């Protein structure tokens, strides 16, 4: 009934409850829900005021009347009674013409994968309360003030389970920057809520009308469902120990017509709003027809935060195919062990290569695929904010993927077989997903006509299962052209017919077509271009092949998918720039010149091959070390000193030099020509466990001819001095990164001084300063890896280094 | 209607914080000025090493956080006391930070132990890789704190307060030795964060902090 009414006119929702109850004696911090039993008259009085002011819909006083929230007040046992009482009160307050909406607030905790409790636990919490409200006879359910899309999903699914034909309204809450707490944008929230069957979609709380207005504009463009809005009375302030919302009824009410124009069908108020505000907006808007809205057509899938639209007029979408263990031994082994590092790396690489969504297949034989799918979905969405395509032959794996995914996923796939339709459509409906539908039954049809008939049958079955036409993307079947040449060509005709006659978007698995033939790349490129021209909207394909992406980009120009050729031009500009950079780098050089450059550039992957090459060409090892590599690293040091290069360059160069020197060392030792500058014992002091900087210094010192004994970390004074004695050290190098451990440096320095030991003490680390080094009486301070070699060399020459002037030597 | 999730006895726990490793920020942490992308580095070897560190970090980081809001009881000359502890907010910096606050949110975040384990594994033979990974890890530890900070800020604003800056043990005269007390109060064991006797957080790439709820002027 409400849905029919909303087609004709705007409806008015009520305003805030909490502040008005506090005015009637509700103690600060006390749950208003408890007054449904303890002081029902106060609730009734507030709601009666709203009804009198013109509200068409009253929210029950049950925002916190769910399991965990009530348990905070030891009132969980009264959950049913509290919710039931709230409905009775609202009916009494509003009279026969009022609609009573059963209000469901957040669970009071966070939901996995982002949060604490499992999806199922959240679902049960919401189901319990929704069932109580439905049993009490509400006219609709209203989920409100949801911060997180996954929690919203659990709430909607729970309500769907118990509400039958009772309408469902759901509000997401957005901050001043127009996003939900966990980053979801309004378009994504609307798309997800609509696909889960929410009847009225809205935003409430957290912000005043000024910040909520753009949210409503976006939502109204992103769904065909009625829109509801409940802003706060401005941004809150603290006054005399209480939170107050300063916006008065009149300025707040001025926003109501703007919300109406933006597309809102139901308008009310949240925190700080009053019956006076409701009275004013009812006067302005009561009876007004809904404003016209525009809607961007297309199949929508979402990540937690962003929406992707697939369909005519939108760019062609690349669904990255690379998360798939088929034929990949190492990848499959990692998945079988439960390791997701390769899956995550592949997800990142596909994102960086331009994929618009990612197909996720973790089907390794003899593994727990449902568990692995859940794990993979969780791991991927932590690092990549693309919509995901959940790809499995097993319904349990599909379901685990959907449970762990807050957004609106694309399920891969169903076909026209009755068994598969009956198995998977309910899952798609339950989780609000979209689905890829193959235009085949158990046999692959040769002709386009039969495939299109299959598509039409799938749509009929979808309707029976309550799956919307707009959530289905058809796969016209990319067949192996070498085996089924005629049928493969019919795929293009199928695309044309579905686009023209059925009206749904299409997608296919591209790589199939070229299987078994040489030069697969050109076949894939040609077929893709032809398919784009026939109307194909997306493909499961590799995002790594540059030529394929270029062909796609060019084909899109003729398919209405690249207005003003902008994307094509941008792509070509990037490619030309990369080619120019590559050309600038090349030029004839000797091997020794290349070694020098490789060290300066810190290219550790190339150095070993180059050293071997130089030796094979007859270069003397000592000459290479002294006249090529050492000048290279010193030149880099000069560049560092001139602030043209930075510490990362030093670190990369040090590692590069180390790898080169490792090849030369046996040859230098055999020739007796190895230079020994001095001996240094290094340690991170007792109680401290940081040592990366020290390890880098150790390499740099070795590169410059020092013998370095690195004792590791958390090293007591006695061990340091024993090692210095054992190795006849010239220098003791100490590292500390904490204010709680740096005094250990003084312990070492004091013993060296008292016992007149022959070592120079050099200190460094993030918390160490020249002042500290001077005060504890060491011989040198090294700021970072950039000057540790010069510092050590200075100490060998008998100088102090890095200390404040006037320090004793 | 809104609620303040974090003002209970239990912390609010966030189990998997989605993240993106911004190359610009990593380059800044490496003190390489003026560049936004790793590919802008002329030195291909250095660029490859940094990219490798970033790619590895994606496979090793599991961001988690927890936060809890406690009530300020009294401001004294040398400390600010709460209902839960008299010995947490000690020092003149804490008095300056919290004297106009009614509440304070304690938070702890971590990127987990896997990345630092990889650093240990790399240190022997691949010190440069270990170094770059360490820098990425340090930045991402701060990043996770930023993510939780943003959620806490939303709660603060919703309740009509302004936030103070985020302040960690070891800043100013807020002694590092309060670390254990802070971790206890925020319930950081639930995300696997503890500290050594010398107040070093474990896993090392973790952050603890406080944000005050300041009354609006």
Tens-place pLDDT, residues A453-464: 999 999 999 999
Say how many CB pairs under 8 Å bridge A and B: 198
Q: Which of A110, A692, A738 sits opposite B198 (nearest CB)?
A: A738
> Span A233-251, mean pLDDT?
86
pLDDT at B188: 96
Q: Looking at the DSSP assignment, which residues form a beta bridge with residue B65?
A: B14, B109
B121 touches chain A (CB under 8 A): no
Contact residues, chain B, for A404 at CB < 8 Å = none
Contacts of A605 (CB under 8 A, 6+ apart): B45, B48
Euclidean distance between CA atoms A298 and A434, whole angstroms:
12
A555, A568 contact by CB (below 8 A) = no
pLDDT at B1: 47
Q: What percent of chain B has pLDDT over 90?
A: 79
Q: What percent of chain A has pLDDT over 90?
A: 80
> Span A90-116, mean pLDDT?
93
pLDDT at B5: 60
Confidence of residue A579 (pLDDT cuts 50, 70, 90): confident
Instruction: Please state which of the ranges A39-43, A65-69, A387-391, A638-642 shows the lowest mean pLDDT.
Output: A638-642
pLDDT at A105: 97
pLDDT at A287: 87
The candidate with the shortest Cα–Cα distance to B209, out of B65, B22, B5, B12, is B65
State the Cα torsion A633-A639-A640-A642 to the nearest 10°: 150
CA of A336, closest CA in chain B: separation in Å? 16
B110, B206 contact by CB (below 8 A) = yes
Euclidean distance between CA atoms A102 and B105, whole angstroms:
33
Q: Residue A81: how many CB atoms within 10 A of its CB? A: 15
Instruction: Tell how strand A410-414 and strand A388-391 pair up.
Output: parallel
Checking if the pLDDT of A48 tops 50, the result is: yes
User: Which residue would you say has higher pLDDT here, A62 or A640?
Assistant: A62
Contact residues, chain B, for A690 at CB < 8 Å = 200, 204
Euclidean distance between CA atoms A412 and A393, whole angstroms:
8
Checking if the pLDDT of B9 tops 90, the result is: no
Q: Give the tens place of pLDDT for each residue, A436-483.
A: 999 999 888 989 999 999 999 999 999 999 999 999 999 999 999 998
Confidence of residue B3 (pLDDT cuts 50, 70, 90): low
> Span A272-288, mean pLDDT?
94
A396, A369 contact by CB (below 8 A) = yes
A781, A752 contact by CB (below 8 A) = no
Topology adopted by domain B12-214: NADH Oxidase (3.40.109)
Checking if the pLDDT of A581 tops 80, the result is: no
Confidence of residue A587 (pLDDT cuts 50, 70, 90): low
The average confidence (pLDDT) of chain B is 92
> Span B35-55, mean pLDDT?
91
A602 touches chain B (CB under 8 A): yes
> Span A620-644, mean pLDDT?
89
Contact residues, chain B, for A585 at CB < 8 Å = 44
Cβ contact (<8 Å) for A105 and B49?
no
pLDDT at A585: 59
Contacts of A155 (CB under 8 A, 6+ apart): A104, A107, A122, A126, A143, A146, A170
Checking if the pLDDT of B160 tops 60, the result is: yes
pLDDT at A415: 95
> Span A262-279, mean pLDDT?
96
Q: Give the tens place of pLDDT for each residue, A121-167.
A: 999 999 999 999 999 999 999 999 999 999 999 999 999 999 999 99
Checking if the pLDDT of A668 tops 50, the result is: yes
Cβ contact (<8 Å) for B55 and A340?
no
Contact residues, chain B, for A407 at CB < 8 Å = none
Mutate to test the interface with B, among A19, A46, A652 (most CBs of B within 10 A): A652
Restricting to B residues 73-92, those with a Cβ less than 8 Å away from any Cβ of A are: none
> Span A276-294, mean pLDDT?
94
Q: Looking at the DSSP assignment, which residues form a beta bridge with residue A358?
A: A320, A388
pLDDT at A544: 96
> Span B50-62, mean pLDDT?
95
Checking if the pLDDT of B210 tops 80, the result is: yes
CA of B86, closest CA in chain A: separation in Å? 22
> Span A49-78, mean pLDDT?
95
pLDDT at A244: 85
Helices marked H in A286-340 — which ranges?
Answer: 329-336
CA of A131, closest CA in chain B: separation in Å? 22
The average confidence (pLDDT) of chain A is 93
A782, A752 contact by CB (below 8 A) = no
Q: What percent of chain A has pLDDT over 70?
A: 99
pLDDT at B6: 67
A503 touches chain B (CB under 8 A): no
Contact residues, chain B, for A16 at CB < 8 Å = 1
Restricting to A residues 81-110, those with a Cβ less than 8 Å away from any Cβ of B are: 105-106, 108-110
B125 touches chain A (CB under 8 A): no
Closest alpha carbon within chain A to B29: A648
Burial of B150 (0-12, 13-18, 19+ CB in 10 A): middle
Interface predicted TM-score (ipTM) of this complex, two decimals: 0.88
Restricting to A residues 169-208, those with a Cβ less than 8 Å away from any Cβ of B are: 173, 175-176, 181, 183, 205-206
Q: Residue B96: how many CB atoms within 10 A of its CB? A: 14
Confidence of residue A496 (pLDDT cuts 50, 70, 90): very high
Residue A48 CA to its chain's centroid (Å): 45
> Span B106-132, mean pLDDT?
94
Cβ contact (<8 Å) for B123 and A695?
yes
Euclidean distance between CA atoms A228 and A705, whole angstroms:
74
Cβ contact (<8 Å) for A601 and B44?
yes
Cβ contact (<8 Å) for A270 and B1?
yes
CA of B153, closest CA in chain A: separation in Å? 10
Q: Which of B15, B196, B216 sits opposite A116 (nearest CB)?
A: B15
Confidence of residue A806 (pLDDT cuts 50, 70, 90): low
Checking if the pLDDT of B8 tops 90, the result is: no
> For the whole model, what pTM was predicted?
0.89
Contacts 24+ apart (CB under 8 A), A561-567: A561/A313, A561/A314, A561/A315, A561/A316, A561/A532, A562/A315, A567/A315
Instruction: Map residue B98 onto helix, strand or coil.
Output: helix
Mutate to test the interface with B, among A237, A645, A692 (most CBs of B within 10 A): A692
Restricting to A residues 656-715, those with a Cβ less than 8 Å away from any Cβ of B are: 656, 658, 687-693, 695-696, 698-699
Helix axes B114-123 and B44-60, enclosed angle (nearest 10): 140
């Amino acid at each position: 009934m409400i849905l029919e009414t909303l087609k004709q006119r705007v409806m008015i929702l009520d305003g805030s409850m909490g502040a008005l109850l506090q005015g009637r004696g509700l103690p600060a911090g006390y749950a208003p829900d408890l007054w449904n039993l303890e002081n029902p008259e106060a609730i009734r009085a507030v709601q009666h005021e709203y009804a009198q002011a013109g509200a068409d819909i009253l929210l029950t006083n049950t925002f916190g009347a769910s399991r965990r929230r009530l348990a905070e007040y030891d009132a969980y046992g009264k959950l049913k009674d509290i919710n039931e009482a709230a409905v009775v009160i609202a009916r009494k307050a509003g009279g026969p013409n009022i609609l009573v909406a059963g209000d469901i607030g957040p669970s009071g905790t966070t939901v996995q994968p982002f949060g604490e409790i499992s999806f199922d636990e959240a679902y049960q919490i919401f189901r319990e309360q929704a069932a109580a409200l439905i049993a009490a006879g509400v006219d609709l359910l209203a989920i409100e003030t949801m911060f997180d899309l996954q929690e919203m999903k659990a709430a909607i699914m729970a309500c769907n389970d118990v509400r039958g034909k009772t309408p469902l309204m759901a509000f997401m809450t957005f901050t001043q920057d127009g996003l939900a707490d966990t980053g979801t944008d309004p378009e994504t929230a609307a798309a997800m809520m609509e696909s889960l069957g929410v009847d009225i979609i809205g935003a409430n709380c957290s912000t005043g009308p000024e910040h909520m207005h753009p949210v409503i504009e976006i939502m109204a463009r992103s769904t065909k469902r009625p829109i509801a809005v409940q802003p706060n009375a401005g941004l809150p302030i603290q006054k005399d120990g209480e939170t107050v919302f300063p916006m008065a009824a009149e300025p707040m009410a001025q926003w109501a017509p703007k919300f109406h124009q933006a597309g809102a069908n139901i308008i009310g108020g949240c925190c700080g709003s009053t019956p006076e505000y409701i009275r004013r907006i009812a006067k302005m808007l009561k009876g007004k027809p809904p404003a016209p809205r525009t809607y961007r057509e297309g199949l929508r899938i979402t990540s937690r935060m962003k929406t992707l639209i697939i369909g005519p007029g939108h760019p062609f979408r690349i669904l990255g195919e690379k998360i798939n263990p088929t034929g990949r031994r190492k990848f499959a082994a990692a998945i079988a062990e439960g390791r997701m590092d390769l899956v995550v790396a592949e997800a990142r690489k596909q994102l960086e290569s331009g994929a618009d969504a990612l197909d996720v297949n973790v089907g390794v034989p003899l593994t727990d695929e449902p568990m692995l799918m859940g794990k993979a979905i969780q791991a991927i969405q932590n690092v990549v904010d693309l919509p995901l395509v959940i790809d499995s032959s097993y319904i349990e794996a599909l379901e685990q993927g959907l449970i762990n995914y807050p957004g609106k996923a694309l399920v891969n796939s169903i076909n026209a077989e009755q068994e598969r339709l009956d198995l998977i459509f309910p899952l798609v409906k339950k989780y609000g997903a979209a689905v890829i539908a193959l235009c085949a039954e158990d046999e692959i049809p040769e002709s386009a006509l039969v495939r299109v008939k299959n598509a039409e049958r799938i749509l009929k079955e979808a309707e029976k299962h309550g799956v919307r036409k707009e959530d289905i993307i058809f796969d016209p079947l990319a067949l192996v052209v070498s085996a089924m040449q005629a049928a493969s060509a019919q795929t293009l005709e199928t695309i044309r017919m579905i686009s023209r006659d059925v009206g749904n978007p299409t997608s296919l698995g591209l790589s199939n077509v070229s299987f078994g033939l040489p030069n697969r790349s050109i076949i894939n490129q040609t077929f893709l271009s032809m398919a784009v021209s026939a109307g194909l909207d997306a493909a499961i394909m590799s995002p790594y092949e540059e030529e394929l992406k270029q062909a796609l980009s060019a084909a899109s120009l003729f398919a209405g998918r690249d207005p003003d050729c902008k994307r094509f031009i941008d792509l070509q500009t990037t490619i030309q720039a990369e080619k120019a950079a590559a050309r600038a780098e090349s030029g004839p050089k000797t091997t020794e010149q290349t070694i020098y450059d490789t060290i300066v550039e810190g290219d550790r992957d190339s150095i070993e091959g180059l050293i071997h090459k130089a030796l094979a060409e007859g270069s003397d090892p000592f000459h290479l070390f002294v006249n090529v590599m050492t000048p290279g690293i010193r030149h880099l040091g000069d560049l560092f000193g001139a602030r043209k290069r930075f510490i990362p360059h030093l670190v990369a160069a040090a590692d590069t030099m180390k790898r080169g020197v490792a090849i030369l060392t046996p040859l230098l030792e055999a020739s007796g020509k190895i230079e020994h500058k001095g001996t240094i014992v290094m340690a991170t002091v007792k109680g401290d466990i940081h040592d990366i900087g020290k390890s880098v210094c150790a390499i740099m010192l070795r590169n410059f001819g020092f013998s370095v004994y690195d004792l590791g970390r958390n090293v007591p004074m006695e061990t340091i001095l024993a090692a210095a004695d054992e190795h006849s050290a010239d220098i003791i190098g100490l590292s500390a990164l904490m204010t709680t451990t740096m005094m250990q440096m003084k312990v070492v320095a004091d013993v060296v001084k008292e016992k007149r030991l022959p070592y120079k003490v050099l200190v460094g680390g993030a918390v160490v300063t020249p002042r500290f080094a001077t005060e504890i009486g060491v011989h040198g301070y090294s700021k970072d890896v950039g000057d540790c070699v010069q510092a050590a060399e200075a100490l060998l020459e008998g100088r102090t280094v890095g200390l404040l002037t006037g320090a004793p030597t | 209607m809104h609620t303040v999730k974090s003002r209970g006895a239990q912390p609010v726990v966030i189990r998997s914080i989605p993240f993106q490793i911004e190359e610009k920020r990593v380059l800044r942490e490496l003190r390489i000025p003026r560049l936004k992308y790793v590919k802008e580095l002329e030195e291909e070897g250095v660029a490859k090493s940094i990219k490798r560190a970033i790619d590895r970090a994606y496979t090793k980081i599991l961001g988690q956080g927890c936060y809890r809001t406690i009530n300020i009881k009294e401001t004294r000359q040398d400390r600010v006391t709460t209902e839960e502890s008299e010995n947490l907010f000690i020092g003149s910096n804490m008095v300056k930070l919290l004297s106009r606050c009614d509440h304070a949110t304690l938070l702890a975040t971590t990127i987990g132990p896997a990345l630092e384990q990889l650093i240990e594994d790399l240190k022997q033979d691949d010190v440069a890789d270990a170094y770059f990974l360490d820098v990425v890890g340090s930045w991402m530890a701060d990043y996770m704190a930023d993510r939780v900070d943003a959620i806490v800020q939303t709660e603060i604003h919703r309740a009509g307060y302004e936030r103070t800056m985020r302040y960690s043990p070891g800043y100013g005269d807020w002694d590092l030795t309060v670390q254990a007390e802070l971790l206890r109060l925020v319930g950081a064991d639930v995300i696997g964060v503890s500290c050594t006797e010398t107040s070093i957080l474990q896993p090392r790439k973790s952050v603890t902090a406080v944000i005050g709820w300041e009354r609006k002027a």
